[in-house]
Amino acid sequence: MKLKKLLALGLTTVMTAGLLVGCGSSEGDTAEKSEDKVYKIGMITDTGGVNDESFNQSAWKGLQDLKKEYGDKVEVKYLESKQDADYVPNVETYMDEEYDLVIGVGYKLEPAIKEAAKNYPDQQFAIIDSVVEADNVNSLTFEDNVSSYLAGLVAARMSETGKVAFIGGMESEVIAKFEYGFKAGAYTAKEDIEVSSQYTNSYTDAALGKSIANQMHNNGVDVIFTAAGACGTGAIEAAKENNKKAIGVDSDQYNLAPDNMLTSAMKNIDVAVFNLGKSMIEGNYKGGQIIVNTLETGGVGIAPTSDKNVQPDVLNYVNEMAEKIKSGEIKVPATKEEFEAAFPDKK
């Protein structure tokens, strides 16, 4: 395998120049060869698939935007994972095809990316929604608890029954950020709000998500926030059928239910992926970074379509609270322990 990291980071300029001179080449030849470089960047989805209307799809959009911007300078590709066992073989496929950067989408790919980083130290990797501490891995993380907090503010203020709920995929540190951020926002906006939560243990079973949402609706819940991949689209479908309200996740999911979608807790994965690829193509890529996308930097927030179904006074309130988060006046919990410390009577 070729040493992709050396090309990506531009650390072999002197060595390459020396070799070219030894072969009778000039500096102009070196520049021309650099300009002719085509970067190959690929991503691996988790089991939710590339058309999950959520973070896999958003990551792929980032690579598509990169292709539109740089044309023939870059090749982009995705490999879908139908099951967890596909992660390692998908990584190996990219190794065989000599890709310059391989991006694992979702925390479930962490073990595969971590192992590959050890096995291929000259290969560049990235992981979304997790952290792998290695010189050849960039970790793209997001303040999901903060965007979920804003979604919780909306849910509580827009609920007519006083009952809202959260549906998560598989219990994990990442999904906990969504749950406890949402609960914190809901209780902040309305102390007597009732917040329930349930996990699907799946990111692919839309029928299960719909079934859980139907049960919640039958119990009086009128706003449901989901962070569960395709299970979430099932819950949104239930909202449409039952004339209830839904809150999307990761990308703006307004188009899935224009009459029922209040907002979406967004993280701009497409922008983060685009910027990462851009840095490689333009020669200023640096591996081994933990890149945190925050509310202040525009990495997270609520959907621009929130004004379609959310009252102006509620949005004004949410914007005020967002400013307090940016200033540090409000610290949003990201774990169960932090949530219980902030809301001891809501355990």
Tally of residues, the chain:
347
Q: Yes or no: say if 42 and 56 are a contact pair by the CB < 8 Å rule.
A: no
C-alpha 317/C-alpha 279 separation (Å) is: 37
Which residues are within 8 A (CB) of 26 and not within 5 positions of it... i.e. 6 or more apart?
20
pLDDT tens for the chain, 347 residues long, are 444 333 333 333 333 333 333 444 333 343 334 568 999 999 999 988 999 878 899 999 999 999 999 999 999 999 999 999 999 999 999 999 999 999 999 999 999 999 999 999 999 999 999 999 999 999 999 999 999 999 999 999 999 999 999 999 999 998 999 999 999 999 999 999 999 999 999 988 999 999 999 999 999 999 999 999 889 999 999 999 999 999 999 889 999 999 999 999 999 999 899 999 999 999 999 999 999 999 998 889 999 999 999 999 999 999 999 999 999 999 999 999 999 999 999 86
CB burial of residue 138 (10 Å; 0-12, 13-18, 19+): buried
The tokens describing 262, both together, are 């209040």
Q: What is the pTM of this model?
A: 0.79
pLDDT at 48: 86
Write down the residue that tokens 């998500």 correspond to.
209
Backbone Cα Rg of the chain = 22
pLDDT at 239: 98
317-331 burial: b if 16+ Cβ within 10 Å, else e: ebeebbeebeeeebe
Q: What structural domains and CATH numbers belong to the chain?
A: 4-142+269-293 (3.40.50.2300), 144-267+311-346 (3.40.50.2300)
pLDDT at 295: 94
pLDDT at 109: 96
pLDDT at 34: 53
Quote the distance between the C-alpha of residue 56 and its chain's center.
8
Q: What are phi and psi of 251, to 5 degrees?
A: -120, 170
pLDDT at 32: 38
